[in-house]
């Protein structure tokens, strides 16, 4: 691979690998070619391929098993690897996510701006509920502009039970990169109070997050509202 762009070789290799992933060349949990083979393919040395793969491993796009190979990582929601830690406990329990509903809505001013769409643009709204064993701890709302995912159908969203990440990967070849989460405390509205069986005005933790494609374009906005009570939320 010639050094054309004013860009390190290993960055170019990283992009080539991403492109190959997006074209479905290797499926989730499938092994990639060995570093040596990739080096031959891209016309670089094994060390350069390694550095590119290092980056993708750090981004959770790939994972490695020594002596075996390099694999395509599954697509996971950030909330799924988060924990609810009970007060006076060192380690918490993973959250379970369950699909609730999917509807088509129109973008408010604020949402339109986030997605760089016009006001009123059609959006998919997916709702899910968050549990730890034995208790409802939160609800989540996921929003994505219809215009950015033309092939997407409500049927598919339901089929995959609101796992938007995996859906976008499988149907649109889009891998999401998450921005940092943002946190707020807010008082439970009547709707939230009923859903989470708490009093109105009880304090709730709001976790919002924007996800983008590799180019930085905003794709998905998600808002989770959590009843923390005895628990702490550990991202």
- Binding region for DNA (CB under 7 A): 3, 6, 8-11, 31-32, 34-37, 43-48, 50-51, 64-70
| Pick 48 or 129: Cβ nearer DNA | 48
Q: Does 185 bind a copy of itself (CB under 8 A)?
A: yes
Beta bridge partners of 146: none
Which listed residue (28, 80, 147, 187) binds a copy of itself by CB under 8 A?
Answer: 187
22 binds, among DNA, a copy of itself, none (CB under 5 to 8 A by kind): none
The two most distant CA atoms of the chain are separated, in Å, by 64
Instruction: Say whether 4 sits in a helix, a strand or coil.
Output: coil
187 binds, among a copy of itself, DNA, none (CB under 5 to 8 A by kind): a copy of itself
HEC-encoded secondary structure of 101-159 = EEEEEECCHHHHHHHCCCCCCEEEEEEEEEEECCEEEEEEEEEEEHHHCCCCCHHHHHH
**Least Cβ distance, residue 21 to DNA (angstroms):** 15
| Pick 60 or 228: Cβ nearer a copy of itself | 228
What's the rounded Cα separation, in Å, for the pair 165 and 144?
A: 11
Indicate the DSSP class of residue 217. -
Which listed residue (15, 202, 212, 213) binds a copy of itself by CB under 8 A?
Answer: 202
What's the rounded Cα separation, in Å, for the pair 14 and 22?
A: 12
- What is the footprint of a copy of itself within residues 70-99 (CB under 8 A)? 85, 88
List contacts with a copy of itself (CB under 8 A): 85, 88, 110, 113, 180-187, 201-208, 226, 228, 231-235
């Amino acid at each position: 691979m010639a050094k054309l762009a004013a860009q390190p070789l290993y960055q170019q290799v990283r992009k080539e690998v991403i492109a190959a992933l997006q074209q479905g060349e290797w499926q989730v949990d499938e092994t990639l070619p060995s570093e040596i083979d990739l080096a031959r393919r891209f016309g670089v040395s094994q060390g350069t391929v390694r550095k590119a793969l290092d980056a993708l491993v750090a981004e959770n796009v790939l994972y490695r098993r020594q002596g075996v190979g390099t694999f395509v990582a599954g697509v996971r929601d950030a909330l799924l690897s988060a924990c609810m830690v009970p007060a006076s406990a060192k380690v918490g329990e993973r959250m379970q996510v369950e699909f609730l509903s999917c509807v088509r809505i129109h973008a408010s001013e604020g949402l339109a701006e986030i997605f760089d769409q016009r006001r009123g643009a059609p959006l998919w709204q997916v709702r899910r509920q968050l549990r730890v064993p034995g208790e409802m701890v939160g609800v989540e709302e996921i929003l994505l502009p219809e215009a950015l995912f033309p092939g997407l159908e409500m049927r598919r969203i339901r089929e995959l039970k609101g796992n938007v990440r995996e859906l976008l990967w499988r149907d649109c070849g889009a891998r999401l990169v998450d921005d940092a989460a943002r946190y707020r405390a807010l008082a439970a509205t009547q709707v939230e109070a009923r859903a989470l069986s708490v009093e109105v005005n009880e304090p709730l933790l709001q976790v919002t997050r924007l996800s983008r494609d590799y180019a930085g374009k905003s794709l998905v906005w998600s808002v989770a509202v959590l009843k923390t009570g005895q628990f702490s939320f550990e991202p």
